[in-house]
Amino acid sequence: MKLFVGLGNPGSQYARNRHNVGFMAVEAIAREHRFGPWKRKFQGHAADGEIAGEKVLLLKPDTYMNESGRSVGEAARFLKIAEEDIVVFYDEIDLAPGKLKVKTGGGNAGHNGLRSISAHLGNDYVRVRIGVGHPGVKELVARWVLNDFAKADEAWLAPLLEAIGKAAPRLARNDQSRFLTDVAKDLGQSSDPRKEKTAKPDDSAPEPPRAAKPRSHPAGERANKSANAIAENLKKWLAGRKTDD
């Protein structure tokens, strides 16, 4: 069994915050795979279903971000789910908006939700990092993540969440690389960008015009021949006059 956790804060006032993009991700998965209704469970809201033949529990902790580990830890212990079978979706300020990365284990990079989960479970769970961008100044980070996404963000946010929902079977099968590839394909991106190839010459393109050869003029050629013949006859006549003298 897999446990997919979305991190965020409960309450309508936080629903569209950047900090709640983890909630949005598991909600997109629930819609895509037609999970059952959300129910209060494990100090949060949970929905269960099946993805790629694997039983999956989706969880949105109601303990607020800083205490996410209480909810996740309770669910993992009750269901006997190993760390490597837990996937956590969360906001990442060190990634550009709309960028997505996956890793297992590693540091928490100052994210209070991850810090709480690691304190309750350990560190070897899967993290899906959803880029929300950085305000540029450290002092503005808290205000940044606790503010709603801008209207302009909808252009990338909605398609990204939908792509995450469609690619979720890869995570259910522990295929993190293919998960990223599927998301990229769905968004029309390349997961392995390469330099553009140099364009080949177009064989159908017309050749550049060649310099025209000078045209011959028959009349002029005939006139030159006549003049040469007259000159030759004159030479012979003069030569004959000299012999007679």
Q: Is 19 a catalytic residue?
A: yes
Helix (H) or strand (E) holding 94: none
**CA–CA distance, 150 with 227 (Å, rounded to integer):** 94
Name the token pair of 223.
């006139």
Q: Is the distance from CB of 127 to CB of 106 less than 8 angstroms?
A: yes
Of 134, 100, 107, 111, nearest in space to 123 by CA:
107
Alpha helices in 6-106, H assignment, sequence order: 21-32, 68-79
**CA–CA distance, 29 with 32 (Å, rounded to integer):** 5
Q: Which of 19, 33, 45, 111 is catalytic?
A: 19
17 DSSP 8-state letter: B
Residue type, 75: A
| Residue 21, phi then psi, degrees to nearest 5 | -65, -25
Q: Are strands 2-6 and 86-92 parallel, antiparallel or unpaired?
A: parallel
Q: Is the distance from CB of 27 to CB of 37 less than 8 angstroms?
A: no
Q: 118-150 as b/e, with b when 16 or more CB fall inside 10 Å? A: bebbeeebbbbbbbbbbeeeeeeeeebbeeebe
Q: Which residue has the tokens 């690619």?
A: 167
Residues recognised as catalytic: 19
